[in-house]
Amino acid sequence: MIDFALHRLKGKDCLTLTDFSSEEIKELVELAAALKQKHQTGEKNNTLQGKVLALLFDKASTRTRVSFAVGMVQLGGHFLELSQKDLQYGRGESLADTARTLSGYVDAIMIRTFDQQMVEELAKYATIPVINGLTDLYHPCQTLADLLTLKEEKGDLSKQKVTYLGDGNNVLHSLMHGAAAVGMHLAISTPSGYEPLPKVWEETEKIAEQTGAKITFHYDPIEAVQEADAVYTDVWASMGQEEEKEKRKLDFKDYQVNEALMKHAKPNAIFMHCLPAYRGLEVSAGIIDGPQSVVFSQAENRLHAQKALLLALLQ
């Protein structure tokens, strides 16, 4: 089941999508689609029997927590769920020592935390794969699920235009990497002061030069959604930014995805959101709960995309 390119991923880390080639990202999406089809037919897969995944959570989680745990069980493996209060690194033990210790017990580590540097340090000292389940800078697992969703809904990824509206955050950073890798047109629209990081722009443009992807930026959200096949948004204030919530409401008020804005996209455009969502802020209830919304298919696809990633890194 593992395609040729994915054989090269065994034992690797997934810290950002730049860890993988364009070919590997495309094959991960293809594998996720195949795993989903087999799951829907009830076919069992015990490929990871005897493998154990450590799940480290420093942030609250619904989709990441459940999808990784269920995914590991569906592949025949096991998981341990841990937090800072469960481990000594929450009391001052070094990450290096934690990484070395866990490497002797489990087969991979998934960590969901704030600081990207923490994930990178864990990977530096671990001798097993480390998966970034989310940091303040990147959310690679979400993008793999997004690409699977877009493939299911719209077909050839290289022929799609996706518009992202809102905050230049971790979800957008990984989406930029993923969109560039598969050759799509990603139009980005954020308020002034909330643009994606220059470093991520540079990485994305370098990938796009190789794949023919088109990455554009527009301060005007109406301009950005013209002829879009999909319109994507995220919360205006992420975890850790709650004190900025009122200011962000004002700064982002013109970036709400609502019925009026969606009329500027293609008539059959879909609406995407990584969840959790706040109706009446970044999206109207009529859009997220309406016929154009695919947000719960997108959420389910976290399971299948992460199973593909686990197989590629551990098989």
> Of 116, 256, 273, 274, which is the active-site residue?
274
Active-site residue flag, 100: no
Do residues 68 and 155 both lie within one domain? no
Do residues 110 and 160 both lie within one domain? no
Do residues 116 and 152 both lie within one domain? no
Angle at 182 between CA 177 and CA 185, to 5 degrees: 80
Task: Print the domain residue range for 84.
Answer: 1-138+302-314
Whether 274 has a binding-site annotation, put simply, is: yes
Strands lying side by side in the sheet with 185-189: 214-217, 185-189, 161-165, 230-233, 270-273
Angle at 141 between CA 135 and CA 146, to 5 degrees: 120
> Of 177, 185, 302, 304, which is the active-site residue?
302
Do residues 97 and 146 both lie within one domain? no
CA gap 120, 126 in Å, rounded: 10
Active-site residue flag, 139: yes
Do residues 178 and 36 both lie within one domain? no
Do residues 213 and 288 both lie within one domain? yes
Active-site residue flag, 112: yes
Do residues 118 and 205 both lie within one domain? no
Determine what percent of the chain is predicted with pLDDT higher than 70.
Answer: 98
The predicted pLDDT at position 244 comes to 86
> Of 65, 112, 177, 185, which is the active-site residue?
112
Q: Looking at residue 57, which CATH number applies to its domain?
A: 3.40.50.1370
Interval 135-144: pLDDT, tens:
999 999 999 9
Interval 170-206: pLDDT, tens:
999 999 999 999 999 999 999 999 999 999 999 999 9
Whether 8 has a binding-site annotation, put simply, is: no
Do residues 154 and 273 both lie within one domain? yes
pLDDT lower than 50: segments of the chain: none
Active-site residue flag, 264: no
Active-site residue flag, 107: no
Do residues 115 and 159 both lie within one domain? no
> Of 65, 107, 116, 139, which is the active-site residue?
139
The predicted pLDDT at position 1 comes to 66
Active-site residue flag, 302: yes
